[in-house]
C-alpha cells in the first residue's frame, strides 16, 4: 500500500498497468501525476479516475530528454516515480520485417526513458523514495518476433541493478509482468489478441493471464517495502515454468 499524502508520478499512467496503478494510489489517498504523450488520452484517463483534487496529468514523451527535464520542473517534489510507459508499435516482428525506426523508438521508450527519469527525477525524490520500472517476460521466455522486446526488457533490468547501487539510499526496482490483458496487445497481436491471451491462459500454472491490477499491486508493494531494492519482481502466473 502506498502511504496516503505521498506524491507519486506514473509515466504511462494513461493506459493499462499505469492507469491501474494510478487508481490504486488514489484509493490509498496519494497525490498522483499521470504522464503520457497524448493529451487527449491523458484527459480520458483523468475522467475515468475522477478525484480531481488528488490527480493531475502532465504530457511528456519520456524518450526525449528535454521533455523529461521540463516534466520534473513542472512536477515538483515527489516520493515515488513509477514507469510503465512503452512504445513497441512496429517493434514486434520477425527480423526481415523489422522496422528499425520502430525498434529504436522501443529502445528509446523503455531504456533511455527510464534513464532520463532517473537522471532528472532522482533529485526530486524525498528520503525513502523509490523508482520502479517495468520490464517483462519476453526477456526470459522470448517468442519469435520478440527480439527487440526481449532486449529492452533485459537491458532495463541491468539498468535497475546499476541505479539501485548508484542512487542508494533511494530504492530502484522493476516489476516483470507476464502476459496481461491491456491495450498494448493491439500492437502485439492485432485481431488475434483474444485468441493469443486465451491460449496462454490455458498454458499458465495460474490458469489465467494477468490483469492490470495484478501489476499495480506489485508496483505498490515495491514502492512501500523499504528493504527491497535492485530487485526484479516477477508477476507472470508461472509463465517462466510453463
Ligand atoms: N501487457 C502485457 O502483456 C505486457 C507484458 C510484459 C511487459 N509489459 C510491459 O508493461 C508495461 C506497461 O504496458 P501496458 O500493457 O500497460 O501498456 P499500454 O496499455 O499500451 O500503456 C502504455 C502507456 O505508456 C504511455 N507511453 C508510451 N510511450 C511513451 C513515451 N515515449 N513517453 C511517455 N509515455 C509513453 C502510453 O501513452 P501515450 O501513448 O499517450 O504516450 C500509455 O499510457 C510496458 O513497459 C510493457 O512493455 C506488458
Indicate whether residue 87 lines ligand 1 (CB < 6 A).
Answer: yes
**pLDDT band at residue 4 under the 50/70/90 scheme:** low
| Strand order across the beta sheet in which 55-59 lies | 55-59, 31-36, 7-11, 78-83, 125-134, 171-177, 232-235
Residue-wise pLDDT tens digits, 135-189: 999 999 999 999 999 999 999 999 999 999 999 999 999 999 999 999 999 878 8
pTM: 0.97
Three cell numbers written together for 238: 508461472
Instruction: Give the distance (Å) from ligand 1 centre to CA of residue 153.
Output: 13
| Mean confidence (pLDDT) of the chain | 96
The residue with cell 513542472 is 74
Give the pLDDT of residue 188: 83
Instruction: Give the distance (Å) from ligand 1 centre to CA of residue 172.
Output: 19
First to last CA, the chain: 30
Percent of the chain with pLDDT over 90: 95
Distance (Å, whole) CA 209 – CA 220? 20
At residue 2, does pLDDT exceed 70? no
Give the pLDDT of residue 190: 86
Give the pLDDT of residue 5: 85
Indicate whether residue 176 lines ligand 1 (CB < 6 A).
Answer: no
Contact residues for 194 (Cβ-Cβ < 8 A; gap 6+): none
Going by C-alpha positions, the residue among 227, 222, 220 that lies closest to residue 2 is 220
Residue-wise pLDDT tens digits, 13-72: 999 999 999 999 999 999 999 999 999 999 999 999 999 999 999 999 999 999 999 999
Indicate whether residue 86 lines ligand 1 (CB < 6 A).
Answer: yes
Nearest CA to ligand 1 atom 2: 180
The residue with cell 496462454 is 200
User: Which atom of ligand 1 is least distant from the CA of 109?
Assistant: 31
Amino acid at each position: 500500500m502506498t502511504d496516503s499524502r505521498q506524491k507519486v508520478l506514473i509515466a504511462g499512467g494513461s493506459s493499462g498497468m499505469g492507469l491501474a496503478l494510478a487508481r490504486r494510489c488514489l484509493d490509498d489517498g496519494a497525490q498522483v501525476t499521470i504522464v503520457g504523450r497524448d493529451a487527449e488520452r491523458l484527459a480520458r484517463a483523468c475522467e475515468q479516475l475522477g478525484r480531481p483534487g488528488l490527480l493531475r496529468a502532465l504530457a511528456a514523451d519520456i524518450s526525449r530528454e528535454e521533455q523529461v527535464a521540463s516534466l520534473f520542473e513542472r512536477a515538483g517534489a515527489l516520493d515515488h516515480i513509477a514507469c510503465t510507459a512503452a512504445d513497441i508499435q512496429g517493434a514486434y516482428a520477425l527480423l526481415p520485417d523489422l522496422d528499425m525506426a520502430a525498434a529504436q523508438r522501443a529502445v528509446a521508450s523503455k531504456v533511455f526513458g527510464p534513464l532520463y527519469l532517473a537522471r532528472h527525477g532522482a533529485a526530486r525524490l524525498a528520503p525513502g523514495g523509490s523508482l520502479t520500472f517495468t520490464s517483462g517476460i519476453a526477456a526470459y521466455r522470448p517468442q519469435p518476433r520478440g527480439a527487440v522486446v526481449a532486449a529492452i526488457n533485459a537491458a532495463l533490468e541491468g539498468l535497475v541493478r546499476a541505479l539501485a547501487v548508484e542512487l542508494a539510499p533511494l530504492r530502484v526496482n522493476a516489476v516483470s509482468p507476464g502476459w496481461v490483458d491491456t491495450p498494448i496487445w493491439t500492437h502485439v497481436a492485432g485481431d488475434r489478441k483474444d485468441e493469443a491471451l486465451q491460449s496462454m491462459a490455458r498454458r499458465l500454472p495460474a490458469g489465467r493471464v494477468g490483469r492490470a491490477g495484478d501489476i499495480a499491486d506489485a508496483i505498490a508493494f515495491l514502492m512501500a517495502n523499504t528493504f527491497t531494492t535492485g530487485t526484479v519482481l516477477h508477476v507472470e502466473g508461472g509463465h517462466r515454468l510453463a
